[in-house]
A and B are shown apart, each in its own frame.
Chain A
């Protein structure tokens, strides 16, 4: 990471702490907002967030490791979260997963780490009445089949 990148991150963290308050209870919103911008929370930034909130960096790491939607490893541009609850599984999730894995691996070919798509399997996302369902970043998609999944993927590229 260049000094310039570090400076940008430190300043962004400072602005978040100003917004949410220098308080332990601001930790999750700060991490969430940081991740929204930089996709994951690197070691340098964990230290900076810890300093800005006057807590130990290991506390910051502990929080990131506890919550499924916080990451300390680099991630691609988009995250597809496919629901793996039994209702979705019984209503087309298996076919959907197979299709998405194939399409996404084609998509990711020859792409830099930064522009790749990540697929994750997550617990119930509350769309069982419209299964199979998935989240693409912060958008919800319901009743997905290979046909509309193709269109969703095209939107991402």
Chain B
């Protein structure tokens, strides 16, 4: 167990380091000058040069990276050029909204997709299966922009059920319902599809026939054997999607005025705010790796054949 965790944490650190290198290199490769962006249009050459020195951009790339890495190891993510404050503060201001939407969305997706996918798989060819397949097909083919607009028009403009904008913390759920639906419907559709096909595959296995031969009831077979084995790919997919959600969703944040991490990252990239972009990518990569670690642990507990070591 200890070895497993040590190994995974090393992997996590490796991932974060690789992301930090990629973020650093990609930002420098992108056209545009961070010093020019930090100043008004009419800044003189001297002002631009002074800003370059202030941002440390006058140093060789390798020196810049080593300084950045050293700060990172000390827990200093740098200072945002755009916001003129520590990157960690900027990220921590934005992260709660993204986490709140992710949590509500995840709960909603779990409640809908797992039962629907499993029941559809068990009742292959039945009306529920037909509905589940249609739901998955529609869900995966509908545009996020369209869904956002539809939700706004339906739930806010037409029926006044939900507020059209804003965010007021995790526990004021009415602000999170529309963003969560918009963020989760595609994921839900994918998981229904995965759950259904997993269940159909498992139910055609020999050990299921064997369980029936031993006189077990259909309910017992489905719950005790089929469900456990079919859920593993669903959990893996869920983990990947949740991790992706933690990086934010620009369209959804923009439409519902959610102060999340996605729109902040876009702003940071388009303004060539190197410290903030790099820090955000490193933080989201770390969250991605942690979620995947949790998924692996959950999978190992569900299926004992997947030993932690």
A-B complex is real: no
- Residues of A at the B interface (CB closer than 8 Å) are none
- Residues of B at the A interface (CB closer than 8 Å) are none
